[in-house]
Structure 1
């Protein structure tokens, strides 16, 4: 049986991304790097109803709360796992938060950040998959 079949929630964990323990993904293969929440996070939140995006141009440190996600269940801060400068925000996701729920690794990205640290402390896909399936 493959690891994918062992994943009891059958969640997607794209191999080209890096992850934080707070369920934020980073795609550092593009510049500026893209960030969003994982499919696991969308499952935990339920349908998002409001997204408070960070401001473009703001400098953040790893561990800073940069956005707020609101669902019927709770209001949850989005903790940025990397340091850098916010360069773009996804206003479409702000206008229609269901984009994040329905396509968290694609159209549902939340912000793009110019990384300060070229080796942020993130988890690989295998490490992250272990966290969400245990």
Structure 2
């Protein structure tokens, strides 16, 4: 099964918006520390990590908007390529987390988001156009 660039972008946007919502909940004091930042803080995160989560909300929101189609083709291509790279690194970092709940939640999410943002880049942006023979 092959997913279109547009559908991949929409699906990536949903995942990225979900991450933004999770970060917002952490910043607001949700007791989900066991699935964030290495799982070292059961319950509510300390203030410095809550501030970090709050700062990430607009970042993930903007990435979701670009994945959904906001911005021009060049901006979208550059942002989604960078997002793919960062999500791939994030997947590896989550895989190395000492927190099993964090690994169970975030490895699949970051892996899926990385694949979807990669797929959402227009085909012409990832391979050269065919040159007619003759």
TM-score (norm 2): 0.23
Higher strand fraction: Structure 1 or Structure 2?
1
Larger Rg: 2
TM-score (norm 1): 0.23
Higher helix fraction: Structure 1 or Structure 2?
2
